[in-house]
Amino acid sequence: MSMIGLFGVLIPFILFLAFQCSFLCKKSLGGPILKNWPFLDASRNALQYPRVLDWIAEVHEANDLTFVFKGPWFSGTDRLFTVDPRNINHMLSSNFAKSKGPEFKKIFDILGDGIVSADMELWEDLRKSGHALFHHQNFLKLSVSSTSSKLNDDLVPFLDKAAEKKIIIDLQDVFQRFMFDTASILMTGYDPMSLSIEMPKVEFGEAADFAEEAIFYRHLKPVILWRLQNLIGVGIERKMRTASAIFNSTFAKIISSRRKEEKEPAIINAVTYYMNVDTTKYKLLKPGNDTFIRDVVLSLLVAGRDTTSSALTWFFWLSKHPQVMTKIRQEMINTKFDPTDLETLVYLHAALSESMRLYPPVPFNHKSPSKSDVLPSGHKVEAESKIVICIYALGRMRSVWGEDASDFKPERWISENGGLKHEPSSKFLVFNAGPRTCLGKHLALLQMKMVAVEIIQKYDFEVVEGQKIEPVPSIILRMKHGLKVTVSKNI
């Protein structure tokens, strides 16, 4: 590297470190800082994560739902933050709903060419083929059978044992293991058996958690800084490299064993589906290329494991409200329901929606317009500029959800005739909206309901007093210290 090149890297790096030190020196957070919007105040708060999400919500409410964040001039961290449903509706129905932009692909490089970070024609092929997979009869059957057998064979015995021995368990860890096992069976045909009484170390799960945290921090740093950290292997970027190596070796083993099996197997999972995908229909997919299969399936696996386990954890934490649990139980007693078709459980659906409104598993969404535009709020955005929609803040806006926005009230989802109330996705953006709506929404809701029904019918949880419940800085809303509970059997 030339001297100029070296200085080009080091100067921003040193300035950024100084900048970060100034955040860390501040010990406590005050109210939202709005006066003059000094970037240091804004960014200092951004690193005090446990409070930052609430703080971002307060700033949105105080600024008519939209504000501009100015980072240091060299850092490329300027952002427009908006949770204005008019802006969201405009962005999701216009061209930049489809494309995520080149910056996103750089930040999510660990997912390679998977659907989450792909754009343009490749995304179109992945989206159409993914849609066909998620609607394939065999795949649908496998999603129900794998969830149901994991419940009966692993989760129930695990909770029985915890109840019998009166031990404290971390419910978040339990749900992550449960979802990892079911997602892995669905996507790769391999059951890692991570949910068992022995609670084995889950290398893949730890790698995914680190990668999600590193990606979160990449959104706050200049690209040049995190790339340099990755290159020399320091801080969270070192863990990102380890995560990448774990993903690669796990997938290398799975793909090579699937390649040895017969073509077009009777049981379809994402690996076998993409290995045999019809390239006359989806011209840009590469069934013979192992890296491509790794990218596509890894994205699906991560999308399925972490979001659903986060949603379940916050749901059970909020369901400590005894009146909510009583109503859910009452509905189960009064309703005839098919365990594989849980649509009739309206109150349960309402309670799940309500917990995801307050604790969305994906708390941020990033957009980047392909050409300059003026948003309905009057804010001008340049081509390739960065827009952040804080879904966590959106769910808490009094001007959007009413004065009781911060209360957990499943009843708000129930219409006068007793059915479910529909809320537009510009207001309830938990599963995204428009062309890039979550492909796994129905699968996630089905799995969450199957787990909730089984657990609520059989067990009571008591949340351990005095534990700190706070989110970890990550692209997924996980609890930093987990959720400690004790279990007792109620039948």
- Residues belonging to the binding site for heme are 438
Told to check if 439 binds ligand HEM by CB under 6 A, we report yes
**Binding segment (CB under 6 A) for ligand HEM, from list 224-232, 278-286, 305-313, 458-466:** 305-313
- The binding site consists of 438
Told to check if 182 binds ligand HEM by CB under 6 A, we report no
134/337 with CB nearer ligand HEM: 134
130/482 with CB nearer ligand HEM: 130
Q: Please report how close the Cβ of residue 155 comes to ligand HEM at its closest, in angstroms.
A: 17
**Greatest CA separation for the chain:** 75
43/99 with CB nearer ligand HEM: 99
Q: Please report how close the Cβ of residue 109 comes to ligand HEM at its closest, in angstroms.
A: 15
163/446 with CB nearer ligand HEM: 446
Query: Which residue, judged by CB position, is nearest to ligand HEM in the bound state?
Result: 440
Pick the closest to residue 80 from 395, 398, 371, 377 (CA basis): 377
Total residues contacting ligand HEM by CB under 6 A comes to 22
Could you give the dihedral angle defined by the CA atoms of residues 172, 174, 177 and 182, in that order, rounded to the nearest 10 degrees?
-110
* Residue among 172, 426, 432, 474 that touches ligand HEM (CB under 6 A): 432
**Binding segment (CB under 6 A) for ligand HEM, from list 42-50, 86-94, 210-218, 303-311:** 303-311
> Is the CB of residue 405 less than 8 Å from the CB of residue 398?
yes
State how far the Cα of 289 lies from the Cα of 423, in Å rounded to an integer.
Answer: 42
44/100 with CB nearer ligand HEM: 100
* Residue among 44, 60, 79, 127 that touches ligand HEM (CB under 6 A): 127
Told to check if 438 binds ligand HEM by CB under 6 A, we report yes
89/467 with CB nearer ligand HEM: 89
Told to check if 304 binds ligand HEM by CB under 6 A, we report yes
Pick the closest to residue 396 from 29, 30, 56 (CA basis): 56
> Is the CB of residue 105 less than 8 Å from the CB of residue 406?
no
Structure tokens belonging to residue 350: 């309402």
Q: Which residues bind ligand HEM (CB under 6 A)?
A: 115-116, 127, 130, 300, 303-304, 307-308, 311, 361-362, 365, 430-432, 436, 438-440, 443-444
